[in-house]
């Protein structure tokens, strides 16, 4: 009869399919991960509370994490609420995504200074911190893979993204709950973290089951006070993720979605959604895969110093499609249609995958509660 509580020799597959051992780290021992990471030169970015939302920012200790808080989400709705336990990662996702750090919302990419002998041009030195991202969800790992393809897989590699991404350590956390806005199961992206991380955590009531998938991850795990996870702890960890998967109720039917959307560019639903959409661009700002930016030259008052600034932009902004004296998409209908068909259809042609990972942010943070899963379902309906 096997001892159920004995330390197990069973190894879980890592992100490359290699076997690895899962360990248990008690919550008090987990607190030292901040010192370990800081000692290795990492700036730790993780969940924290700001302006009544869970956002990603620099975290220096366990006290900075949203212990005992959760989020309630719906279409056009996001509220923080107290939990009846002290979970550190007992929320889903907030308005921020990791793109804030890998693809900064604003940065100066070039400068020009007027001198006696003419203009001198410079590229400012980009010296980002070495990031450790703590609390990355499965859908966010998928979103990083999407942005990796956009910024690093083509002939033109974005140097700012590449530098930040290649030095980043990823500490994933399996979801313990899903919001009504989540549909990761439809997109095949969650809630279980399966690849793309250095360490993966599952939070139990008194600590974490942790698996390392890379040498960096193993090294960090070895510096935490841990022991091999027991059969019971592994069972509990599996149940945590299973519970989150069962809570995902929202569905997006992705069957032939590219062809369905392209075949319905004149569907009356585009007029219907245009009546509700404010063209505010919130959905693109919170989306972890949206990557559009624009550059502008900004001069100081003397006209001696000019900066070329790159800023996030959005296909919902009126002048985003301005060219040669005119705006190509001058109606909300055409802009919403562009966003949805790019995200779910032409993205597949461009990058070989959907541009949506099912995180639900665009549903929660749309001020009028527009839900892309509902819009797609309506477009699938035949027109009379
Ligand atoms: S869909 Fe919602 S969030 Fe997006 S632009 Fe329209 S109103 Fe704003
Ligand atoms: S389109 Fe919406 S649900 Fe899909 S990844 Fe972007 S924010 Fe998340």
Q: What is the pLDDT of residue 16?
A: 47
Question: Do 195 and 270 have their domain in common?
Answer: no
With CA atoms as reference, report the closest residue to 97 among 333, 295, 287.
Answer: 287
Question: Do 75 and 192 have their domain in common?
Answer: yes
Q: Which ligand is nearest to the CA of 354?
A: 2
Does the pLDDT of residue 153 top 60, yes or no?
yes
Q: Does residue 290 fall inside a structural domain? A: yes
Mean pLDDT of the chain: 94
Does the pLDDT of residue 374 top 80, yes or no?
yes
Indicate if ligand 1 lies below 6 Å from the C-beta of 338.
Answer: no
For 313-324, what is each residue's pLDDT tens digit?
Answer: 999 999 999 998
- The Cα 34–Cα 32 span in angstroms is 5
Q: What is the pLDDT of residue 301?
A: 96
Question: Do 316 and 238 have their domain in common?
Answer: no
Instruction: Answer whether 254's CB lies under 8 Å from 354's CB.
Output: yes
For 206-231, what is each residue's pLDDT tens digit?
Answer: 999 999 999 999 999 999 999 999 99
Does the pLDDT of residue 6 top 50, yes or no?
no
Q: How far is the CA of 357 from the centre of ligand 2 (A)?
A: 6
Q: What is the pLDDT of residue 21?
A: 81
**Burial category of 170 from C-beta neighbours within 10 Å (exposed 0-12, middle 13-18, buried 19 and up):** buried
Q: Does residue 120 fall inside a structural domain? A: no
Question: Do 217 and 322 have their domain in common?
Answer: no
Tell me which of 54 and 9 has the higher pLDDT: 54
Containing structural domain, residue 205: 12-103+125-247
The residue whose CB lies within 8 Å of the most ligand 1 atoms, and thus the one to mutate among 75, 282, 338, is 282
Q: Does residue 109 fall inside a structural domain? A: no
**Residues at CB less than 6 angstroms from ligand 2:** 286-289, 343, 356-362, 372
Does the pLDDT of residue 1 top 90, yes or no?
no
Which residue's CA is the closest to the ligand 1 atom numbered 4?
283
Q: Does residue 272 fall inside a structural domain? A: yes
Q: What is the pLDDT of residue 20?
A: 63
Q: What is the pLDDT of residue 4?
A: 32
Question: Do 224 and 281 have their domain in common?
Answer: no
Q: Which of 247, 265, 286 is the last residue of a domain?
A: 247
Question: Do 168 and 212 have their domain in common?
Answer: yes
Question: Do 231 and 327 have their domain in common?
Answer: no
- The Cα 309–Cα 208 span in angstroms is 42
For 118-128, what is each residue's pLDDT tens digit?
Answer: 999 999 999 99
Q: Which ligand is nearest to the CA of 367?
A: 1
Tell me which of 192 and 382 has the higher pLDDT: 192
Q: Around Cβ 67, how many Cβ atoms within 10 Å?
A: 16
Question: Do 154 and 289 have their domain in common?
Answer: no
What is the average per-residue pLDDT within 186-204?
97
Question: Do 271 and 197 have their domain in common?
Answer: no
Q: What is the pLDDT of residue 154?
A: 86
Provide the sign of the torsion angle of the four alpha carbons 192, 134, 312, 368, taken in this order.
positive
Q: Around Cβ 135, how many Cβ atoms within 10 Å?
A: 24
Does the pLDDT of residue 5 top 60, yes or no?
no
Residues 6+ apart with CB under 8 A from 246: none
Instruction: Answer whether 59's CB lies under 8 Å from 34's CB.
Output: yes
Q: Does residue 1 fall inside a structural domain? A: no
For 45-85, what is each residue's pLDDT tens digit?
Answer: 999 999 999 999 999 999 999 999 999 999 999 999 999 99
Instruction: Answer whether 314's CB lies under 8 Å from 280's CB.
Output: no
Q: Does residue 110 fall inside a structural domain? A: no
Instruction: Answer whether 45's CB lies under 8 Å from 58's CB.
Output: yes
For 227-283, what is each residue's pLDDT tens digit?
Answer: 999 999 999 999 999 999 999 999 999 999 999 999 999 999 999 999 999 999 999
Does the pLDDT of residue 191 top 70, yes or no?
yes
Domain count, the chain: 2
Indicate if ligand 1 lies below 6 Å from the C-beta of 273.
Answer: no
Which residue's CA is the closest to the ligand 1 atom numbered 8?
280
Question: Do 220 and 268 have their domain in common?
Answer: no
Q: Which ligand is nearest to the CA of 179?
A: 2
With CA atoms as reference, report the closest residue to 97 among 362, 311, 375, 366.
Answer: 362
Backbone φ, ψ for residue 88 (5° rounding):
-85, -30
Q: Which ligand is nearest to the CA of 332?
A: 1
Question: Do 226 and 97 have their domain in common?
Answer: yes
Task: Work out the pLDDT band at 7, boundaries 50, 70, 90.
Answer: very low
Query: In the chain, pLDDT over 70 holds for what percent of residues?
Result: 95
Q: What is the pLDDT of residue 382?
A: 83
Q: Does residue 72 fall inside a structural domain? A: yes
Task: Work out the pLDDT band at 10, boundaries 50, 70, 90.
Answer: very low
Backbone φ, ψ for residue 259 (5° rounding):
-70, -35
Which residue's CA is the closest to the ligand 1 atom numbered 2?
366
Question: Do 151 and 272 have their domain in common?
Answer: no
For 80-101, what is each residue's pLDDT tens digit?
Answer: 999 999 999 999 999 999 999 9
Which residue's CA is the closest to the ligand 2 atom numbered 2?
362
Q: How far is the CA of 375 from the centre of ligand 1 (A)?
A: 12
Exposure string of 212-231, with b = 16+ CB inside 10 Å and e = fewer, is bbbeebbebbeebebebbbe
What is the average per-residue pLDDT within 274-303?
97
Provide the sign of the torsion angle of the four alpha carbons 340, 344, 346, 347, taken in this order.
positive
**Burial category of 260 from C-beta neighbours within 10 Å (exposed 0-12, middle 13-18, buried 19 and up):** middle
User: Which whole-number Å values give the CA distances from 233 to 11, 19, 67, 366, in the listed order?
Assistant: 13, 18, 21, 39
Q: Does residue 99 fall inside a structural domain? A: yes
């Amino acid at each position: 009869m096997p001892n159920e509580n004995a330390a197990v020799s069973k190894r879980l597959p890592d992100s490359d399919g290699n076997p690895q051992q899962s360990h248990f780290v008690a919550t008090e021992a987990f607190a030292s991960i901040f010192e370990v990471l800081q000692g290795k030169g990492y700036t730790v970015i993780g969940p924290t509370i700001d302006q009544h939302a869970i956002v990603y920012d620099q975290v220096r200790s366990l006290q900075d994490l949203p212990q005992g808080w959760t989020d309630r989400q719906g279409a056009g709705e996001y509220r923080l609420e107290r939990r009846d336990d002290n979970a550190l990662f007992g929320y889903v996702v907030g308005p921020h995504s990791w793109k804030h750090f890998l693809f900064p919302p604003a940065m100066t990419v070039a400068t020009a200074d007027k001198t006696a002998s003419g203009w001198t041009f410079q590229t400012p030195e980009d010296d980002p911190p070495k990031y450790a991202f703590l609390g990355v969800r499965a859908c966010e790992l998928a979103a990083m893979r999407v942005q990796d393809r956009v910024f690093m897989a083509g002939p033109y590699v974005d140097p700012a993204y590449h530098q930040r991404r290649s030095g980043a350590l990823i500490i994933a956390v399996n979801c313990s709950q899903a919001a009504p806005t989540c549909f990761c199961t439809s997109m095949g992206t969650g809630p279980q973290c399966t690849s793309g991380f250095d360490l993966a955590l599952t939070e139990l009531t008194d600590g974490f089951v942790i698996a390392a998938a890379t040498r960096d991850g193993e090294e960090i795990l070895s510096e935490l006070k841990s022991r091999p996870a027991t059969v019971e702890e592994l069972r509990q960890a599996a149940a945590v993720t299973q519970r989150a998967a069962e809570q995902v109720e929202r569905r997006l039917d992705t069957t032939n979605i590219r062809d369905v959307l392209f075949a319905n560019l004149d569907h009356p639903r585009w007029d219907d959604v245009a009546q509700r959409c404010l063209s505010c661009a919130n959905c693109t700002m919170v989306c972890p895969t949206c990557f559009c930016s624009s550059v502008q030259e900004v001069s100081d008052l003397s006209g001696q110093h000019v900066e070329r600034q790159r800023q996030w932009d959005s296909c919902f902004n009126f002048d985003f499609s301005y060219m040669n004296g005119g705006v190509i998409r001058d109606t909300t209908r055409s802009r919403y249609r562009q966003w949805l068909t790019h995200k779910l259809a032409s993205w597949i042609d461009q990058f070989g995958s959907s541009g949506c990972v099912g995180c639900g942010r665009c549903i929660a943070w749309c001020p009028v509660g527009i839900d892309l899963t509902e819009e797609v379902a309506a477009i699938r309906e035949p027109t009379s």
